[in-house]
A and B are shown apart, each in its own frame.
Chain A
Amino acid sequence: MRRAVPSWAITALSVGLLLAAWVGATSGGLVRDLFLPGPADLWAGLTELVEDGYKGRTLLEHLGMSLLRVGAGFLTGALAGTALGLAMGYSPRLDAAAAPFIEFLRPLPQLAYLVLLIVWLGIGEASKITMLFLAALPVAAVAARDGVRNAPPERQRAALALGASRWQVFRHVVAPSALPEILTGARLALGIVYGTLIAAEIIAGSSGIGWMILDAGRFLRSDYAFVGIVAIGLAGVALDRLLLLVERRVVHWAGR
């Protein structure tokens, strides 16, 4: 194998090329800053957003409101979905009865039923959090159901044969082997909830980071929009890493 250029150098070169193209295009007057703000505009936009804020709230406050909504919808939806999924994993009848709804809800674009939820619950927080709840529920339920189903039957039978009660089998055999799958499902659900909330704030919001981007875009403040997009990306990665950290600590036995 030839080892002429190390990988990090190629990555650095590629990042550098793109940055140079950006600086060149924006400072040379090739693109109007309306369409693509330059580095200086972006920095100015960031300091303005952090210090003065956008329409009454700073960048961090907008981001915080979005994350609160994500937290409320994700926690309720993931908990309810996990409980439902555990029950579905244990009872084939409940699984058969609930599966059509779960399978229908899972691929349904969340924003389509947001419109209906707004009619029912108003344009405030209740409709958004209900939508996030419904977005997280089927994903968590399917993960928990599959986790219970994939728990090795030999071990369950062995535990039962050794005199364990059904609760003890659940506590010491089924739960430990289902937990990695449940937490993987939770990470998937969190990603979906986060993306959905941003979309919801764009369609129907008056605060939050998603709304800020849309509003800034409408007023052609693309520097604010860019800063908002980068903030959304970073917050999304941070959320995912946080859950990954929890996953590694809680289910340190996964994969063994």
Chain B
Amino acid sequence: MAGSHSSPMPNAPAVADALPGAAPPRARRRRRALPPAWLGAASVCAMVLAWWAVSGGRVVPAALLPSPADVWAAALEIARNGYRGTTLWGNALSTLGRLAGGFGLAVLVGVPLGLWMGGSRAPAAALDWIVQFLRPLPPLSYMILLILWLGTGDASKTALLFLTAFPIVVAASAAGVRGVKLQRVQAARALGASRAQVFRHVVLPSAAPMVFTGLQIALAAAFSTVVSAELMAATDGLGWMVISASHFLRNDVILLCILVLGLLGVGLAWALRLLDRRVVHWRGRD
């Protein structure tokens, strides 16, 4: 067992990253005046101060770049009176609802299909070319066809998000199954495990980290796509709010939406990483 796999060297940087106390030697040589977490907060504060200094008519016209105070005032006003009959929460929820619908459907269909395609030859041969054709295609390019076929309502958006996430999920799930070590499957079979038991106890745990990586990539892609789709054709959602605010030159509302979208994106990525760590806690310990 002294092969290259059991050598600790390839994993050394990952281990050093995971342990907060074990800083890499380069960093240790220099003495740190501030812990990096503070430095991050300080740089965000500096950015906000710089924004404050140049905005609001001091350097840049207020119509082009509203100040943080303007954006805050817009946030309060929208919280109190809403924005053109909708609320910020309502719009965020409709964006997230669309995302959940399209992405959820892609997970429900894509993961089992991908696992099946990874495990047996016939479905892979029959369907892989469709996945390979869809994967590099920018989703917005076929949005107009989906609108033509399904109308401008939520059906075309759900289909678009499904088609965005589906090929990524399928490809990752299939690759996860194909990456399972053959020796493990053979060992389990030799010890008398049934096909179902091999799948449940050997294939699924080995493929799960790859599947989860695919889910994270697919969710990020779907999030970007849902906002683009809402910019194009929607009557609610954060993307609609951005494009509607731009028609009325409400740059404060646009900035507010961008901040909310950025935080949502960070939050979604963080939530999926947390789920990843809880569900596939054996990742990387192969």
Contacts and interface: CB of A to CB of B under 8 A. Distances in A.
Which bucket holds chain B's interface residue count?
Answer: 35 or more
A43 interface: no
Nearest to A228: B141
A101 to B, nearest CB: 7
A237 B136 CA distance: 6
Contacts of A202: 140-141, 143-144, 228, 232
Contacts of B47: 101
A107 B262 CA distance: 7
Q: Is the interface of B mostly helix, strand, loop or mixed?
A: helix
B231 A108 contact: no
Given A108-B265, A119-B249, A153-B26, A229 B137 contact: yes
B265 A111 contact: no
Interface of A: 5, 7-11, 13-15, 34-35, 90, 92-93, 95-101, 103-113, 115-116, 118-120, 149-150, 152-154, 156-157, 191, 194-196, 198-199, 202-203, 210, 213-214, 216-218, 220, 222, 225-226, 228-229, 232-233, 236-237, 240
B148 interface: yes
B138 A97 contact: no
Nearest to A1: B121
Nearest to A218: B144
Please list the 7 inter-chain residue pairs (A to B) with the smallest Cβ-Cβ separation, ordered nearest first.
A107-B265, A96-B36, A217-B144, A109-B227, A10-B125, A195-B138, A96-B39
Contacts of B125: 7-11, 14
B223 A14 contact: no
A150 B9 CA distance: 11
A109 B126 contact: no
Contacts of A15: 129
B261 interface: yes
A95 B26 CA distance: 14
A9 B125 CA distance: 8
Given A95-B36, A236-B137, A111 B231 contact: yes
A107 B223 contact: yes
B262 A108 contact: yes
B48 to A, nearest CB: 11
Nearest to A191: B136
A111 B43 CA distance: 26
Given A103-B266, A107-B268, A232-B138, A11 B129 contact: yes
Contacts of A150: 13
A9 B126 CA distance: 9
Given A92-B27, A97-B43, A107-B269, 19 more contacts: A9-B125, A11-B125, A11-B128, A93-B32, A95-B36, A97-B39, A100-B44, A105-B262, A107-B262, A107-B266, A109-B228, A111-B239, A118-B246, A195-B138, A196-B138, A229-B142, A232-B137, A236-B137, A237-B136
B251 A119 contact: yes
Interface of B: 9, 12-13, 17, 23-27, 32, 34, 36-37, 39-40, 42-44, 47, 64-65, 121-122, 124-130, 133, 136-145, 147-149, 220, 223-224, 226-228, 231-232, 238-239, 242-243, 246, 249, 251, 254-255, 257-258, 261-263, 265-266, 268-269
Contact of A112 (B23, B121, B141, B258): B258
22 contacts: A8-B125, A92-B23, A96-B39, A100-B40, A107-B262, A109-B261, A112-B239, A115-B246, A119-B249, A153-B12, A153-B25, A153-B26, A157-B25, A194-B138, A196-B224, A198-B140, A203-B232, A213-B141, A218-B144, A220-B148, A228-B141, A233-B136
